[in-house]
Amino acid sequence: MNEMILKFPARSENEIFARNAVAAFALPLNPSLSELSDVKTAVSEAVTNCIVHGYRGRDGWITVHCRSEGGRLDVEVVDEGRGIHDLERALQPFFTTLPGEERSGMGFTIMQTFMTDFSVESEEGSGTKVRMSKDFGQKAERNAG
């Protein structure tokens, strides 16, 4: 079992650092290149959501909490921003609250598709917590079988 907590300001320049840090943390679990790419993309989506939707350009902090154990990576991405008004709609593919900004509305769909487990908790005015897990290699194959 290993653990890591990253806390950084909600600025878009930190997205690349956050996804690469989580990927580096996951390396001892021997992920395939494709599994590692999935994790980087899902983390990038979650962190982007904090910046674009949670804080909407205002200052704030993002916390990324990672745990690894037995071929499984758990990642939590937490902000203390405005929260999600209608979570059910936010989870629909192609739904976006910012249609004028070339947003695809695919962020949550990508997190759900690319990770083994996914859940989100949000409270308006308090913030949002995304929980994601990924099973790597043999563990993923065992669960699929």
Partner 1 sequence: MKLQSSRRGDNLYIYLSGELDEHSVSSLREAADRLIDENAGLSRAVFNLAGLRFMDSTGIGFLIGRYKRLKKYNMGMYLESPEAGTDKILSLSGLYSLMPKI
Check if 142 is active-site.
no
**Distance in angstroms (rounded) separating the CA atoms of residues 65 and 133:** 12
Query: Interacting stretch for partner 1, rule CB under 8 A, among 46-54, 72-80, 115-123, 132-140?
Result: 46-54
Q: Is 143 a catalytic residue?
A: no
Residue 116 near residue 135, CB atoms below 8 Å:
yes
What track of x and - describes contact with partner 1 for positions 3 through 22 (by CB under 8 A)? ---------xx-xx--x---
Q: Which is nearer to partner 1, 108 or 125 (CB)?
A: 108
49 is catalytic: yes
- Strand-pairing partners, residue 121, are 129
Nearer to partner 1, 51 or 66 (CB): 51
Per the listing, tokens 């194959």 go with: 141
- Which one among 28, 34, 59, 145 touches partner 1, defined by CB under 8 A? 34
Sheet holding 2-9, edge to edge: 2-9, 61-69, 72-79, 127-135, 117-123
Residues 66-125 that bind partner 1 (CB under 8 A): 101-104, 106-107, 109-110, 113-114
- In DSSP terms, 9 is beta-bridged to 61
Catalytic center residues: 45, 49, 103
